[in-house]
Amino acid sequence: MSEIKRLDMDSELLIRQKAFAQKAKNLLAERYDHPPLAYVHTFGCQQNVSDGEKISGMLSEIGYGPADSPETADLVIYNTCAVRENAEDRVFGNVGALKPVKQKRQGMLIGLCGCMMQQQSAAEKIKQSYPYVDLVFGTHALHTLPELLYNRLSGQKRQFSIEDSPGEIIEGIPLQRDGAIKANLPVMYGCNNFCTYCIVPYVRGRERSRRPQDVLAEARQLVEMGYREITLLGQNVNSYGYTLDEQVDFSDLLREINRIDGDFILRFMTSHPKDCTHRLIDTIAACDKVCNHIHLPVQSGSNRVLGAMNRHYTVEEYLSLIGYARQAIPDVTFSSDIIVGFPGETREEFEQTVELVKRVRYTTLYTFIYSPRTGTKAASMDDPIPEAEKSRWLRELLDIQSAIREEQQDHYIGRTLRVLADGVGRSGAGWLSGRTVSNDIVEFQGPPEMIGSFVEVKIERALNWALFGK
């Protein structure tokens, strides 16, 4: 829709940032007789990883080279996550550890950005308790890094940019990708769902989709550059297109990318069950490059808890989707997210989640004990279950999932699977690792030259975490 603010490479805003990048580069050239080094570390989801690649791209344009550790860096930037409390605790711990490092390194700068910094309380804590942090900017100010950095390099006061915003679409930010085989491709930003436990809509802004022509152009570029796996990203990719003037949805986008010439595979995440349609499932079945693995977060197996979470579907509707996908897509597999110990959850409701897990038989479960997020509705709900009890429930669920996974892995022994070799394996010298279209990890022996290729691997044995073959 027209109210979404869109800025392209030739926009006045990005031209301004390019000018600040050059000014910062000139300052650094005066200050250093060698290229300064920057250490960028990202916490959290793949969307954060994608943001981290933009940060690295802007820093490269300014003249920074990559540092291997904070101890060797002239600039350290932590790209933070706010989804769970332990992620925030890790950030504060890491920032605390930087104080003696900065005292030893003259001129060192420290920056914090991302979802956690978009929260006023976290930014204020940094301002008051960590005076040696130089830059703090939220998710909506990512593109202004060159200006913030120049201001600080030129002797201005500590830079804080955490203004609230519904969000915008900014194309053309410099990018430095982490690898040469697999690439993340954001198709939309923000979220409109307001699940009662989730802080994301408050720190990422409202839902907004990139124009299909921009997504397709980037996808074609990735294929031309030799990338073999592309993961389409969004807080809820299933609602792609709702904010566009064009009549296009996520199914249409998948079909268009699938038509691009080249030997590559397509993944996507995250997929909200309330917007997962039969049309989308039929599209996955019809597109030869789209993987047959669907990450479909259920969160709970209790209808009452799902209602309290504001998830907008029932267990019955969720299982109906699973059933339809299993009929439509050969060898389809599922992974999911589950929150254990949501406020007010009873033992009986937890057992309903266990039954759902046994029925669906996920290949992977991302399980978490409920973590209250200040500002969300769930944070004010009554939560009488002790943490120790929640921990026991989590362990019980993990044991059940582990048994399911063991049975699934044994099923692959003797089969030959197509694997994208994407790196060195964990099994020792000469072992490579990769993933199948079903998202199974496979390790096999082979020369390093195989990395980046699709190979056929005959599975000979299996463990919970990986398949092994030749």
Residue 227 reports pLDDT greater than 60: yes
Among the listed residues 73, 63, 128, the one whose alpha carbon sits nearest the alpha carbon of residue 98: 73
Residue 246 reports pLDDT greater than 80: yes
Residue 33 reports pLDDT greater than 50: yes
Residue 288 reports pLDDT greater than 80: yes
Residue 276 reports pLDDT greater than 60: yes
Whether residues 426 and 378 fall in one domain: no
CATH assignment of the domain containing 112: 3.40.50.12160
> At 321, which amino acid appears?
L
Mean pLDDT of the chain: 95
What is the spatial distance between Cα 38 and Cα 70, in angstroms, rounded to a whole number? 8
pLDDT (0 to 100) of residue 101: 96
pLDDT (0 to 100) of residue 9: 66
Contact present, 443 and 422 (Cβ < 8 Å) = no
Whether residues 444 and 354 fall in one domain: no
Contact partners, residue 219, CB within 8 Å, separation at least 6: 185, 230, 257, 260
Whether residues 34 and 155 fall in one domain: yes
Whether residues 406 and 448 fall in one domain: no
User: Where among 150, 168, 186 does a domain terminate?
Assistant: 168
CATH assignment of the domain containing 436: 2.40.50
pLDDT (0 to 100) of residue 254: 98
pLDDT (0 to 100) of residue 12: 87
State pLDDT tens for residues 133-188. Answer: 999 999 999 999 999 999 999 999 999 999 888 878 999 999 999 899 999 999 99
pTM summary value: 0.94
* Token representation of residue 234: 């969004």
Whether residues 311 and 442 fall in one domain: no
pLDDT (0 to 100) of residue 369: 96
Whether residues 406 and 449 fall in one domain: no
Whether residues 305 and 371 fall in one domain: yes
Q: How confident is the model at residue 407 (pLDDT cuts 50, 70, 90)?
A: very high
Residue 242 reports pLDDT greater than 70: yes
Whether residues 263 and 184 fall in one domain: yes
User: Where among 384, 410, 436 does a domain terminate?
Assistant: 410
User: Where among 117, 136, 168 does a domain terminate?
Assistant: 168
Residue 466 reports pLDDT greater than 90: yes
What is the spatial distance between Cα 452 and Cα 434, in angstroms, rounded to a whole number? 9
Tally of structural domains, the chain: 3
Tell me the pairing of strands 431-435 and 416-424.
Answer: antiparallel
pLDDT (0 to 100) of residue 75: 98
pLDDT (0 to 100) of residue 87: 86
Residues 290-296, mean pLDDT to the nearest whole number: 97
Whether residues 421 and 399 fall in one domain: no
Range of the domain at 376: 173-410
Contact present, 291 and 267 (Cβ < 8 Å) = yes
Whether residues 382 and 430 fall in one domain: no
pLDDT (0 to 100) of residue 2: 43
pLDDT (0 to 100) of residue 22: 97
CATH assignment of the domain containing 278: 3.80.30.20
Residue 309 reports pLDDT greater than 90: yes
Residues 270-285, mean pLDDT to the nearest whole number: 96
Contact present, 360 and 336 (Cβ < 8 Å) = yes
Whether residues 153 and 181 fall in one domain: no
* Token representation of residue 342: 């949501």
pLDDT (0 to 100) of residue 10: 72
Contact partners, residue 245, CB within 8 Å, separation at least 6: 1, 2
Residue 247 reports pLDDT greater than 90: yes
Whether residues 82 and 143 fall in one domain: yes
